[in-house]
Chain A
C-alpha cells in the first residue's frame, strides 16, 4: 500500500509556456501533500505544502504565482509551473502524507 504516482515522468516545453504536473495517492487519501525540487546531485528542497481544500503554504523564496498548487481532492495535487524558463528546469518530486511521507517517482522538467 501507500503508492504515489506522478504524471508526466518527463516533460519538455518551450520557454514561456505552462506545465502541469499531477501527483496522486493511489491507495490512500492524503489531506496533505508536499512538493519538492531537486537539482542534480543535491538534496530535496521543499517548495510548498499542499492542503486539500485550502491554499498551499509556500516556503520562503518560492514564488507562489509561478508555482501554482491545487489540491482539489484527497488523492490529487497538481503543480503548475507558469511561464516556464530554462532556470525552472529541474526534477520535481511530490509526496503524500499518511503518518509518514510516501514519495512519487518524480518528474523531470526541461525548459528549452
Chain B
C-alpha cells in the first residue's frame, strides 16, 4: 500500500516571499503520478500541479514548482512570490496510474498562512 507523509502541519510565509512544502511517499510502484492540491476555505479541491514519475524534469505552473526526487521518494512544492490568496490547506497526493479507477492517496495536509 502507498503512503504519503506531510511532516509540516502548519506553515507561515510573508507575502511576496517563497515557501516550500514537504512531501514524502512510499511505494513499490515504478510508474505513478504525484499531485499537489489546494483546499481554500471554500473547501473546493483545486489541482495545483501534477508530476509524472517517468519525467525527470520538475513540473512548473507559474509561481508553483516542484522538486521531485524519485530515488528519495520526495515531492516538495515551492510557492514563489506568495500571495494572500495562496492561504489554504495543501495536500500532496499519489496515484499509481491514470486509469479511470485509480485511487488517490492523500497526505495529512499542510495549512499555509500567507501574512502581510
Which residues from chain A sit less than 8 Å from chain B, CB to CB? 30-32, 34, 38, 41-44, 46, 49, 51, 91, 93, 95, 97-101, 103, 105-106
Contacts and interface: CB of A to CB of B under 8 A. Distances in A.
A44 B92 CA distance: 11
Interface stretch (B62-70, B72-80, B104-112): B104-112
DSSP class of B's interface residues: helix, strand, loop or mixed?
Answer: loop
Contacts of B35: 100
B100 A43 contact: no
Contacts of B42: 105
B43 A51 contact: no
A51 B101 contact: yes
B47 A100 contact: yes
A43 B108 CA distance: 5
A99 B43 contact: no
Contacts of B111: 41
B46 to A, nearest CB: 8
A34 B98 CA distance: 14
B5 to A, nearest CB: 11
A42 to B, nearest CB: 7
Contact of B100 (A31, A38, A44): A31
Given A103-B45, A106-B44, A43 B101 contact: no
B103 A30 contact: no
4 smallest beta-carbon distances between A and B, as pairs? A103-B45, A32-B100, A97-B100, A43-B106
